[in-house]
Amino acid sequence: MLTNEERRVYLYEGEEHPTIASTVQAETPLESLNLNWREKDLPERERTKHVHRLHPYLGKFIPQLVEIFLRKYFVPGQTVADPFCGSGTTMVQSKELGIHSIGYDVSEFNVMLCRAKTMRYDSEKAAREVYDVLEKTRLATRSSGCLPGLWDIDIELLETDSQYLKEWYAPQALQELLTYRSLIEKGGYTYTDLLKVILSRSSRSARLTTHFDLDFPKQPQTESYWCYKHSRNCQPTTEAFKFLERYSTDTIWRIKEYALVQTEATAAIIHGDSRTSNIPSVDGVITSPPYVGLIDYHKQHAYAYHLLGLEERGDLEIGAAANGSSQKAKRQYQQDIAAVFANILNSMPTGGRLIVVAGDRYNLYDGIADLIGVDLEAVILRHVNRRTGRRSTEFYESVFVWRKR
């Protein structure tokens, strides 16, 4: 019987012949997969194709990685689950391949984003709604200060009790964001999740922060500063409308691009804790769990929670940065991740696979596999050359292939 170490697939250096996702089949040997894509092998425009860049999101895995394991281990008509669905990569790619999917997340923002990405749109209607709310925002904020003949909205009366919003936005930017939000609420639109994603993406860019630190800015930037991104002195932004305009056009283009490859496969997105949720029958799992002590996913999108009034459930996050990476935190992380997979295994057939992509720097996943009683089929170690956010050090992640006994 092979040991865990003997089951590990060699670490490829990515020098030649990286794996092309569309060529992978069920018969493709794991040993032949080279997942260490370089920029020239897998440029950003491919990693962020269509709706995958509908909104920035830290900690997501790239769609080509998901596609490879969907093609190898699943067939159209089956159902794959992602108990940590995050920005929806598994669901989006599954719909491309005709595979049903179900995703769970404790973050209301993540659920909203996933639903917006996987929705089947009437593209022309979606475009009309996006440009309608944009034009009404322009009229309301750049004319006499009201919106005559439409709704009884006076932008001078739009206020917020959120201290966060007052601190992080210049008056004009906040006025434009609040107007857009009010129009979504009163407009009778069909695709409100899509409009809220545009609003959220715009509010991220319109914050009083430096251009080079949009991920986790520590305090509002209200004065000019030396910008490392542009190599010049820059001013903090004072408006939001230019972002609403830019992202409206980009969003319409992206959902139209996705419509060209989207199948009729279903994607169910559940706002719930996958440790305790009642999970229906699924054929397997593809997921990238949160890493221990690395990211606070609710704080990542704090602007959206304050602007959209989303429910905060950060206390349910597994491996949150706020909990650190002490021995106690690592043990709790193992127990929580094991609870998720134990729950979902109850809904899987014998022989079903769990594909788990994790940065296992603390070697926690062999212990998790032991806790849930799965067989280790292989581990592929890949060098992550490109990833969202700034990194100055080498980074590797493991792809665990487990089978239900």
The model's pLDDT over 14-46, given as tens digits with 9 standing for 90+, comes to: 445 678 899 999 999 988 888 888 788 888 888
Q: What is the pLDDT of residue 38?
A: 79
| Residue matched to tokens 């030649």 | 16
Quick: pLDDT tens for 182-230: 999 988 999 999 999 999 999 999 999 988 888 888 899 999 988 888 8
Q: Write phi, then psi, for 202 (nearest 5 degrees).
A: -70, -40
Q: What is the pTM of this model?
A: 0.91
Nearest CA to 284 out of 29, 22, 75 is that of 75
User: Residue 172: which residues within 8 A CB-CB, separation 6 or more?
Assistant: 141, 238, 239, 240
Q: What is the pLDDT of residue 293?
A: 81
Considering the chain, what percentage of its residues have pLDDT values greater than 70? 90
Tell me if 333 sits within 8 A of 292, measured CB to CB: yes
Tell me which of 61-65, 110-114, 290-294, 367-371 is least confident.
290-294
**What average pLDDT is seen over the chain?**
89
Looking at the chain, the number of H-run helices and the number of E-run strands are 13, 10
Element (H, E) at 140: helix 123-141
All structural domains of the chain = 8-120+264-404 (3.40.50.150), 123-258 (no CATH)
Strand 8-9 to strand 374-383: parallel, antiparallel, or no bridges (unpaired)? parallel
Higher pLDDT, 141 or 391: 141
Quick: pLDDT tens for 304-333: 999 999 999 888 999 888 888 899 999 999
Residue 154 has pLDDT above 50, yes or no: yes
Q: What is the pLDDT of residue 211?
A: 85
Residue 247's pLDDT band (cuts 50, 70, 90): very high
Where does residue 389 fall: left (phi above 0), alpha (psi -120 to 50 degrees), or beta otherwise?
Answer: left
Tell me if 153 sits within 8 A of 107, measured CB to CB: no
Tell me if 80 sits within 8 A of 261, measured CB to CB: no
Tell me if 58 sits within 8 A of 38, measured CB to CB: no
Q: What is the pLDDT of residue 36?
A: 84
Q: Write phi, then psi, for 268 (nearest 5 degrees).
A: -100, 125
User: At CA 276, angle to CA 352 and CA 362, rounded to 5?
Assistant: 70
| Residue matched to tokens 């127990």 | 335
Tell me which of 74-78, 301-305, 378-382 is least confident.
378-382
Q: What is the pLDDT of residue 157?
A: 53
Q: What is the pLDDT of residue 147?
A: 52
Tell me which of 85-99, 107-121, 129-143 is least confident.
129-143
Cα(274)–Cα(90) distance, integer angstroms: 16
Nearest CA to 332 out of 314, 312, 317 is that of 317
Q: What is the pLDDT of residue 389?
A: 46
Nearest CA to 179 out of 208, 205, 199 is that of 199
Q: What is the pLDDT of residue 153?
A: 55
Cα(65)–Cα(214) distance, integer angstroms: 26
Quick: pLDDT tens for 298-308: 888 999 999 99
CA 379 to chain centre: 24
Q: Write phi, then psi, for 94 (nearest 5 degrees).
A: -65, -40
Cα(116)–Cα(110) distance, integer angstroms: 10
SS3 content of the chain, % helix, strand, coil (to 5): 40, 15, 45
Residue 394 has pLDDT above 80, yes or no: no
Cα(177)–Cα(307) distance, integer angstroms: 8
Cα(294)–Cα(358) distance, integer angstroms: 12
Round the CA-based radius of gyration of the chain to a whole number and report it.
22
Element (H, E) at 379: strand 374-383
Q: What is the pLDDT of residue 170?
A: 94
